Amino acid sequence: MKLAALLFLFAASGLAAEVETHELPHRLPRLTSVFPQGAGPATSVRVEILGEFLDRASSVMFLDESISGKVIEVHATRLELEFNVSSGAGNGPHYFRILSPRGASNVLLFRVGDLPHVTEQEPNSTFAEANSVKPPLTINGRLNVDGDFDFFRFRAEAGQTWIFDLRAARNGSGLDAALILLDEQAREMARNEDYFIWDPFIEYKFDRSGTYTVVVQPTHTQLDPNFAYQLDIRSAPHLETVSPISVTPGASLEATLYGAGFLDKSARLFFTRDGAVPAGFGGRILETRDSSAMIHIEVPNSARAGTYDLALVTPTGCSDTATFLVDPTAVYRGGETIEPPVSITGTAHYRDPERFRFTAKKGQTLVFEVRAHRFGSPVDSVLRILDEKGKQLAVNDDADFPGVADNKDSRIFHTFDADGRYEVEIRNLVRVTGEDFPYQLLIYRPVPHANVMLASDQPYVDAGGDGVIKVTAERLFGFDGPVELSVAGLPDGVTTETAVISPGQTSASIPLHARGAHPGVYSNVQVFAKGVEAPAWRSVKISGGEGEGQTFARIDRAALVVSERPLFALEAEVTRVTLVRGGKVDIPVQIQRAQDFAADIQFQVDGLPPGVTAETVTAPGGLSNVRIRLTASSSAAIGRTKEIAVIGTADGHVEEAPVISVQVD
């Protein structure tokens, strides 16, 4: 049908509407996956980014300086980037985002590892097609089309133990996969799924020398181009948790590491804090037992309170990390009663609660806080406060800690009504037994304060206009004073005003002005509250899984961009269309225009599967709806394509509708 006829039909049916003048949606770039998901230090690697609203992507911003990136190729739903990893880049996750005149994207994770990295080579979806690999190594792969399996063949010698560790959910992927280990005749030797919530893990000791195959099997009925993963085949151990989970500055003590593959007593202890190596820490392995290792730790007197990571370095590579705490609170050494403030470290057993006696005065307020699950321990705690007759005064299972998803740690804030003797009880709800359930129970007097958080890590301000940075405050332990806010690191041409979260309020907006700033200018900014040393922060979800399969990162800076004001916005009225070979289908698209913007808009469709074409359509000023016709040839590729973008261009300005999917049958 010709455009004139289409316009007549729209007008006759009332689809041609008045130009809308209310505020347009501002669509920021959205990243859904990166492939490959990681690389080794001192390397340069090309990566593919999938997402939407990626047109005009101009820059890559890593949150640390050990990796840099640049944009190579730009499409509406796909980018090609180049990452340069420095020789000093630390093992583990590094976070990046994309910048464009739209603003800053969400954050994705790119992991640095010390093993050789290879990328899967298709076809490898059958036993006969398996890629040959040589452990130890990290394989970057993805299950991106329906029916895809990945097979990898390797040599193992009698007596060798290999660890097969697949990272998908932990890297921010939505993939839920299983691992299967096969012998030379394709007989199953081992299988695992959901060891780390969604990610599988196998430790296997081979009885005889031979050629074996490991299979990455999806558990989904439909696969997705975003289903990327990394598979380690390594001999370096896996670390889960350390007991005790908390130590004091200046401590010299024996501790136990729990995990798998503790086979090398010569492994070296390696400590980090926020990606840097802290001064003065030391230690050594005393004994290994495959699933645990006895170690000796030396903590310097100068160690700052907070979280630290511990890894083991072996001749064949570095392990992952276990988290522990440094806390200066006085440690409970045993006895009839405890005297707050006090730190109690122990092992939580199912159906075997521990109780600690203490005295309290009428009107006294104490905080009882468990530190375990948030720091890598499998403990699922419940706390109770009892009076001397055993009556329950307070109970808590899963407390609300800002930025912690699916928390299992407990906290009670309690004011006592009378002088007396009381007990605090900690119980583990996980229905297994073992010594690998360490916890710290902190009991302390509350200090009223505010926990200051960013409402968004992607603020923007229109060029020549105004914007805001929104900040929230969690008021803790009765704090009700004002919270004075300031911003550091503003882009050139952007100014701000002072802002205060007033008593009784929990949020405020910091005004931004960009009267002399150019579109595309950006910087990392930090928001500070007067009297609070740490900047405001935000827990951000890495794109991928849901529920307990989610991965989060704590971000203490926001990417502030001077953005272009949108002149129009597009919205497809469907999220999925189905075509048969040789058939046609229309995509209805709504147009929302800024006031006084009436230019013609030219439409195109990006990302269509082979054999499917889109009709060229132009929407004159004043038209608020168009229909874009898709046609499938008789030989069009059968299957589902998810990232289809309807793109409109007018006066050099580009906008996209949220992506849709196309199914060809």
Question: Which strands make up the sheet holding 290-298, listed edge to edge?
Answer: 238-243, 252-262, 290-298, 282-288
Tokens of 594: 């800024």
Q: Note the pLDDT of residue 550.
A: 84
pLDDT in tens, 225-265: 999 999 999 999 999 999 999 999 999 999 999 999 999 99
- The DSSP 8-state label assigned to residue 608 in this structure reads P
Q: For residue 652, is pLDDT > 90?
A: no
Give the number of C-alpha atoms closer than 13 A to the C-alpha of residue 73, restricted to the C-beta side: 9
Q: Please, which pLDDT band fits residue 273 given cuts at 50, 70 and 90?
A: very high
- Map out the domains of the chain with their CATH numbers: 3-23+566-664 (2.60.40.10), 30-112 (2.60.40.10), 117-234 (2.60.120.380), 238-444 (2.60.120.380), 449-563 (2.60.40)
Q: What's the chain's Rg over C-alpha atoms?
A: 28
Tokens of 199: 């990610």
Q: For residue 544, is pLDDT > 80?
A: no
Q: Note the pLDDT of residue 547.
A: 65
Q: How many CB atoms lie within 10 A of CB 361?
A: 9
Tokens of 641: 């394509």
Q: For residue 2, is pLDDT > 90?
A: no
Q: Note the pLDDT of residue 11.
A: 36
Q: Please, which pLDDT band fits residue 433 given cuts at 50, 70 and 90?
A: confident
Partnered with residue 542 across adjacent β-strands are: 551
What is the arithmetic mean of pLDDT over 451-458? 96
| Alpha-carbon gap, residue 176 to 217, rounded angstroms | 9
Smallest CA-to-CA distance from 312 within 252, 259, 383 is with 259
Q: Please, which pLDDT band fits residue 629 given cuts at 50, 70 and 90?
A: very high
**Angle, alpha carbons 71-76-78 (nearest 5°):** 55
Q: Note the pLDDT of residue 19.
A: 37
State which amino acid sits at residue 317. Answer: G
Q: For residue 9, is pLDDT > 80?
A: no
Q: For residue 3, is pLDDT > 50?
A: no
Q: How many CB atoms lie within 10 A of CB 571?
A: 13
Q: Does pTM surpass 0.85?
A: yes
Q: Please, which pLDDT band fits residue 531 given cuts at 50, 70 and 90?
A: confident
What is the arithmetic mean of pLDDT over 65-93? 96
Percent of the chain with pLDDT over 90: 88
